[in-house]
Every structure is written in structure tokens, then in C-alpha cells.
Chain A
Amino acid sequence: MAEDRENAIISEVHKKISDAFDVFDHERNKTVDVREIGTIIRSLGCFPTEGELQEFITEIEEEEATGYIRFERFLPTMTKLLMERKFRPIPEDLLLQAFEVLDQEKKGHLGTEELTKYMTQDGEPFTQEEMEEMLSAAADPDKNVIFYKDFVSMLTVDDK
């Protein structure tokens, strides 16, 4: 029956969410530090913006913020997110287009300074740490440029 199947899917989704939550539940009391919520949501396959993430957190936080999120509040909201397939993954070609937009001269690559400027001043800016990490992974050490096509395919290979 369709309902049974729906229930089976939901229970699978619940288990998936529970597994991911448990990884960060250091004290084994079904709570996680609110700062890890972003990591958990993203590792379950969602691509929220920082703003969307903040909204999500506000929704599931306690009335008096304790710095911790309880599983009971996390589960229903997260399940809804996954069932509605909100924040779907970004297709590779769209990503490539995004880089091309930034690469105004159509060089096929971006200078490290150029990219840094965009990433740390525009949109939802990166912190210095985030920027450094991205550069260390993306930049060609000799030429100090980012061949974004290769970068995108390299990072997408890692994901299954």
C-alpha cells in the first residue's frame, strides 16, 4: 500500500538523520552543539545558504538558547527538509557557469587575489580560514591561479 511505502521511506530517512546526528552527539545524550548543525544538514545532502541555515536553527532552537540542539526538535524539521527535497544539489555545469561569470575576461582561470576578493567580500563572505583552505585545495602552487574547471571536477569526483 502506498501509505506503507511512505512510512517505510520516512523511517529510513529518520534512521539516516539519526546516524548523522549521532556522529556529533559527543555526550551521547541526543544533543549536539548548535555550531555543528550546519555540518550535519549539509552532510545529509542539502545545500543551504548561511541565511537559510540560520533560519532553520532559529526554528529548532530552544526558547532560551542553550547552545545545544535537541534531537527531538531536529528530527521533524530535518525530515521535512529531506522529504520536500529542499536545497537540491548544485549541478556541475551550473557551478562552472558561476565561475565563468566571475572570470570576466574568459581566461579559463582566476587569479587567487581575484577569487579571494569575490569570496570574502561578496554574497555570504568566507572567513579567512575558509578562504585559505579553499585556496590550498584549488590553487596551482606554481602559477598562483585557480583552474576552476579542474577544481570543480576534482571536488565532484570525491563526492559519491
Chain B
Amino acid sequence: MGCGVTKQNQKQIKKASFSVPAMRAALLIQRWYRQYVARLEMRRRCTWNIFQSMEYAGEQNQIKLYKFFSYLMDHFTPASSERNLIAHIFRENEVCRDAEWERYFNYKNIEVPEFYSGPHLNFPLTATNATELVEAFRTKQQLHSRYVLQLLVETWKLLRILPNINHVSTCHSKEITICGDLHGHLEDLLLVFYKNGLPSMETPYVFNGDFVDRGKNSMEILLILFAFLLVYPNDVHLNRGNHEDHIVNLRYGFTKEVLGKYRVHGKKILKLLQKIYSWLPLASVIDQKVLILHGGISDTTDLDIIAKVDRHRYVSTLRPPKQRKSSAKNKQSDQDSWDEDNMTRRRVRSMTYSSPGVSRPEVQRHSLQTLSSQVEEELRERRRRAGFSLSHGDLHNSLSSDSDSDPGENLETDAEDWKQVVDMLWSDPMPIDGCVPNEVRGGGCYWGPDITREVLEKHNLQLLIRSHECKQEGYEFCHNRKVLTIFSASNYYEVGSNRGAYIRLGPDLVPHLIQYQASRSTRDLTLRQSVGRTERSALRALREQLFAHKSDLISAFQEFDPEQTGLISLNHWATAMESVLQLGLPWRMLRSQLVNHTQDGKLNYQSWFKELAIMEPNTQLAHTNLLETLYKHHSNLETIFRIIDTDNSGLISFEEFRQTWRLLSSHLQIDISDEAISDLAQSIDFNKDGSIDINEFMEAFRLVDRTQQERSNSTLSGVHPHLLQSEHPTKTLLVSASPHFV
């Protein structure tokens, strides 16, 4: 236009070419559409919040599981009838020397049959082998267990000679590529290789942990990464993540994946992986200036200490390490006082840390706090009373399977070393200064910008790159751009939920970020469809939580309904939801997705619950308390069952099932009658053969959305509702729209 017209004014200039009514019409449409898009964006963010808080809630469950194990071990009295079960569960953890392990992992007897059409590996591995492996996995082939074991043994040998901290340099003008969490998403790794090139001397990589769990190709990702590590040991660097941990794997799907793909040798493979995990390096440093590790740091992080720890002692990082041998009596009192100190320190911290502007939604797991303190109380009492030599230390002795260590070192150094490792793998950044325990994850801490400054200065570093948290754009800077989170698993929560990203770092050490999103179907979905799909998934998960807390919720609603009208206001509904679930979610924003019918702005809560979910028709259970308990603890249950199922048949006996329930219910102090347990066992023995199929058990208790079920019943009969849900989401959404937009 003319000179002196600013951009602002240009917007307001009315074009003479269009008529005034047309202009007004256009304005109206724009206003309406922008509002629509904004609401979509709000829904997307809310959905994101749901997934995040559920993920953290899941991690809380993990802590409960550990407490349960401690409890189990403490009930290990010679006279106890549960002794067999417990021995049975932990039987596989014998202590052997490395040479014996090599014999156990001998793959040479495993024959590769003639009809095997998958990739063949020759050792020492070549670049061609590694490339062929990638290609084979891309075309969905599976590597034979003989080669798997061989590859893993070679990897194990190599990892043992690597230091705790990889030192990498960008000399020869090499740019280094850094990838974050992959979580079994093979498509993402292949996408990165496609965009960025395969690992080689010209294309060095750092993979920052969490290679496994959740996605369905964790095994393939590990095999690829290990293969390239073997071929290019100076150019491929792996950091350990918190999911490189066999106990975490039991819950988050990797164990299941391995046992499913390798029915005969799965157990051996898992055992070998346990050792490999413990030998993975803990961090990488580029040009002595950029620190890369999986979780983060704390106020006590010291790279000099880390460089010297015996990292392989930490088989599972969330458990304190094996104690060194010393007299039982001393150990016991030391252990007790250490526990006590730790407990009170933690408690005090969490009580004082109640400022309103907290970094995380305030997930105060009251039940967990009281639970853990109860259990700790119990442990101490029992020990003192029975004069047990089975202290914390010994139980880890029997649980851990690694070879021995030299005696005589003191307890304090162990605790310090352990804290260094846990902090590195589990911590998260927070926006305010300071360092507090990470109560949400149960390990590591939240660290602030002041800690970043301190630690970077102490070691003369300029940037910290970490992963561990899913980010919508695949990456995020914080702490004045001194900390960079990189996450490489796109569509992590659901198709369309987030992008993945990786970093390219040249000699100037300025990070360049490349984003991507795997899955063809994502690109074809409109914003609206992808939000809808992700949202449905999140709401489904949320509904399960609601159901699991039904009785608590009803009590909370009733408090707002003293006259027992059966109705409460929506405002009270939101308040009650938050006080019971403590997920820190914006309930008033989510209300329209969760509540369908209101009467004069009030909600009939009993009928709301009925609308919320229906069960699979297979199970008729009279004991609704049991059902709720099942839901509350179902992810832990599955993990426990898989541990019990030591021959990995997928089946456990009635007796094992009953014993587990009894132990769990006494530990959680829930009242469940033997009769109820027996009924439950019989009702889920679907083929009536006296054993319970774990998979069937878990499937039977998945909630089905009633509205989906009704629609699907009307359109397609005889098809399993779960299939319908996953395959035709858009169909059910657009039921009321015209066929044009299908």
C-alpha cells in the first residue's frame, strides 16, 4: 500500500474490491473458525496433561511394587507357607562367577534351521551385517535366537571395557547426532537413519537411553544399536536410561515382548540383557563441554565420583546396591539408622516443599506416603523382634545376580555412589531454584536452574543434554537454554500426540534440531482427527482411573450432597475429582468430555458412573470391591504374575494366584475374603483347566466404553469391540456427519 502503513493497519484496511457484506461475512467466518481451532488446541493440551499425569501415576505404581517385594522378602521365615512361593519367585537369582555365566549363555549349540529366512550374522560383525540387519527389521523379519545371543555376548564383552563416561570429540569436523528416548519405536529409528544416515565413522551417534519398553520393537532397536556399537565402537555411544532395568521392563512391556518373540530362549536373553544393562555407560561428554545423560543431575552430582563408581553393581537402579559383607549386627544397625535418616530427611523435605508455584501438578500420593511409611515401620519392627539377619542388604544379595565384590568398603560410599547413579537416570528439571526429591518418579530429584549453573561451572561445561521426558515438539530448552531435553519417539502416547527430534552438534557445539513424525497415517489426518483420536485414547485411560477410584469418588460426591438428592453441582464435581484422584488435571476443561448429561447444571453422580463404563460381558463378578481393587492395582498385578510365571508359559496355577492375592491384600491392608479370591480365580479360568492365562486375565478386565459399544453393536455385530475401537475410530466420530467427510 502507501508508505508509512504499518502491518497492524494493513490488517484493518478494508479492501475496496469486496463488498461490505462480503467483508463482514468473511470476518464472521474467520472469528468462528479461529474460535474452533482454539478449542481444539485446548483439548489437545488437556489430553497431553492427561497422558503425562497418568504416566507419572504409573511410575508411582512402580514404587509400590518395590515395597511389595521388600514386604515379601521380610515374610520369608522358614516356617511360613508362603516360603515356597517366594523362593519360587526369586529362584532364578543365583550368584555365579562370570565364567559360569559365559557357559550359561553358550549359543553354540543352538542350531539355525535350514528354513530360517531371516538375516545371518558373521562375527566379527561388519558394516554390511549391521546394514542388512536394519533392512531385515524394516521388512519385519526376526533375528534367530542364536544370533541374538551371540550378538549380546559380544556386546557384553565390549561394554565391560568401556568407561562410565564416554568421551567424544568433534575433531575432523565431525558432526555428532544425539537421539533421545526411542522406547521400542522402530519406525522412528528408521526415520532418523533415513534422514540422517546410518551410524558410521562419518556419522557418529550418541543414543541417550530408554531404548526399550512401550513400543513393540524394543528388541530390534537394541539389536541394531548393539550391532552398530560393535562395528563402530569409537563412533557409536550408548547411555543407560532408567528403562534399561529388568524390573521396569517387567511392567512396561519389554519382558513380554522378548518372551513372546523368543519362546525357547527368551529367559536367557533377558538374563543376558540384565548384565548388559548394568554395563552400559552412564554418560557421554562431547569436547569436554557438553554433557549428555538420560535423566539429569542433582545438587550432589559429581562427574569425578561418577567416573569411578562400579557401575555394574547397579543391576536395577531403583534398588539400593548389594551391601558389602560385614558383620550382620553392625549392618543391621547401620542399615536401620541409614533408613531412618533417609526416611525422615525425605519426609521433612516433602512437607516443607508445599509452595504453590510447584513445578509439577501437585501429585501428592498420600496413600503411597502412608503406605511406604507403614511398610518401613513394619520392616523395622519385624527385624528387631525376630532378630533377623535378613536385613535390607542380604535381601539384595539374594536378589541381585551379579558376581561378588570386595569386602571392607563402608556403607556410606555405597549410598553416595548409588545416589549419583539414580540421580543421573531419574531426575527432572524444574523452573525454580533448588533441589528436591522426585516424589513423582520415586527416584532422583527435581533440580533447578541454580543447580544447572553450579554443576556446569564445576566441570567447566556449557550445555546439558538429557531425555527422559516426552515433549510435544520432540525437544525443549530450559534453564536459560543450558538444558536441552531431546525425545525421539514420536506419537509416544498415541498417533499424533507428539513429534520426535534429534540433535546435530558440530565443533561449534551449537545444537541443531531436526523434528519428524513417523506414521503415514498421521500426515493424512487433519488436526481435528488427530486431536480426536489422541483424546479418545487419553479419555479411555482416564475412565479406567475413575472406575478404579469409584468408591472414593462416590464418598467425596456424597460429602457435597448432605441431603442425599443424588445430585451435585459441576463445581463440586470438579473439586471432588481433584481431591480424590490428585492428578492435577483441569477438570472444568475436561468436563464436557466426561459428563454427558446434566440436570439444571447438576450431575446425577450414580447414573454418571453407570454411563462411564461397562464390563466385558464374559465376567460376572458379584464382588465389586474386588473389581475396584483389581483396577487400582492392575498394572502391578500383571507384573507380579509375570514374575511368578517363572517358566514363562503364560499360565499360573490357582494356588499361586491365591497366594499372591493373599499376600498383596495383607500388604495393602485390604480386606478380601478367601471366598472372593476363589470365586475370582474360577471365573477367570476360562478354559476350566485349573490354571489362569495371564493375558486372558488382563484382557478380561479392560474397560469398554459403553457408548462405543452401543454404536459398534448397531453397525457391526459379532466383532470384538476392542478391534472396533482401534480400527475404526473415525467412523464412530463421524456417525452424525455427512458421508462427504469420511
Interface set of A (CB-CB < 8 Å, partner B): 12, 15-16, 19-20, 22-24, 27-30, 38-43, 46-51, 90, 94-95, 97-99, 101-102, 118-119, 121-126, 130, 133-134, 136-137, 140, 147, 150, 153-155, 157-160
Contact = CB atoms under 8 A, between A and B. Distances in A.
Contacts of B38: 38-43
Interface string B19-34: 0011111111111111
B382 interface: no
B568 to A, nearest CB: 13
Interface string B715-742: 0000000000000000000101110110
A17 to B, nearest CB: 9
Size category, B interface: 35 or more
Interface in B1-41: 11-12, 15, 18, 21-39, 41
B592 A137 contact: no
Nearest to B584: A22
B740 A49 contact: no
Contact of A160 (B25, B36, B592, B741): B592
B456 to A, nearest CB: 20
B42 A137 contact: no
A19 B586 contact: yes
Given A20-B589, A29-B431, A133-B526, A123 B27 contact: yes
A47 B586 contact: no
A125 B736 CA distance: 31
Given A43-B39, A99-B29, A19 B359 contact: no
Q: Is the interface of A mostly helix, strand, loop or mixed?
A: helix
Given A19-B587, A137-B528, A157-B736, A42 B35 contact: yes
Contacts of A94: 28
A42 B574 CA distance: 21
Contact of B36 (A46, A97, A140, A155): A155
B556 interface: no
B32 A121 contact: no
Nearest 5 interchain pairs by C-beta: A42-B38, A43-B42, A123-B27, A123-B26, A98-B25
Given A23-B45, A42-B35, 5 more contacts: A15-B588, A23-B589, A101-B21, A124-B31, A160-B592
Contacts of A22: 586
A112 B514 CA distance: 32
A134 to B, nearest CB: 6
Given A43-B42, A118-B22, A154-B741, A49 B31 contact: yes
A102 B432 CA distance: 53
30 contacts: A15-B574, A19-B587, A23-B46, A29-B431, A42-B38, A43-B38, A47-B31, A49-B27, A51-B11, A51-B12, A90-B31, A98-B24, A98-B25, A98-B26, A101-B25, A102-B25, A102-B26, A119-B26, A121-B15, A122-B18, A123-B29, A124-B11, A125-B11, A125-B30, A134-B33, A137-B527, A147-B740, A150-B738, A154-B741, A157-B736
Interface string B566-600: 00000100100000000000111100100000000
B588 A39 contact: no
A47 B32 contact: yes
Contacts of B737: 150, 153-154, 157
B330 to A, nearest CB: 45
B431 A28 contact: yes
Given A23-B45, A50-B11, A137-B526, A95 B29 contact: yes
B319 interface: no
A4 B41 CA distance: 35
A124 B360 contact: no
Contact of B29 (A46, A50, A98, A136): A98
B360 to A, nearest CB: 7
Contacts of B25: 97-99, 101-102, 118
B635 interface: no
Contacts of A12: 571
Nearest to A153: B737
A102 B28 CA distance: 11
Contacts of A16: 588
B574 A123 contact: no
Nearest to A20: B589
B358 interface: yes
Nearest to B590: A19
B526 A136 contact: yes
B8 to A, nearest CB: 8
Given A47-B35, A49-B31, A159-B36, A122 B45 contact: no
A76 B436 CA distance: 34
B617 interface: no
A150 B22 CA distance: 20
B49 interface: yes
Contact of A95 (B11, B28, B586): B28
A23 B27 contact: no
Interface in B336-383: 357-360
A151 B359 CA distance: 41
Given A19-B587, A99-B29, A133-B527, A122 B36 contact: no
Given A43-B39, A133-B526, A154-B738, A48 B49 contact: no
A90 B27 CA distance: 12
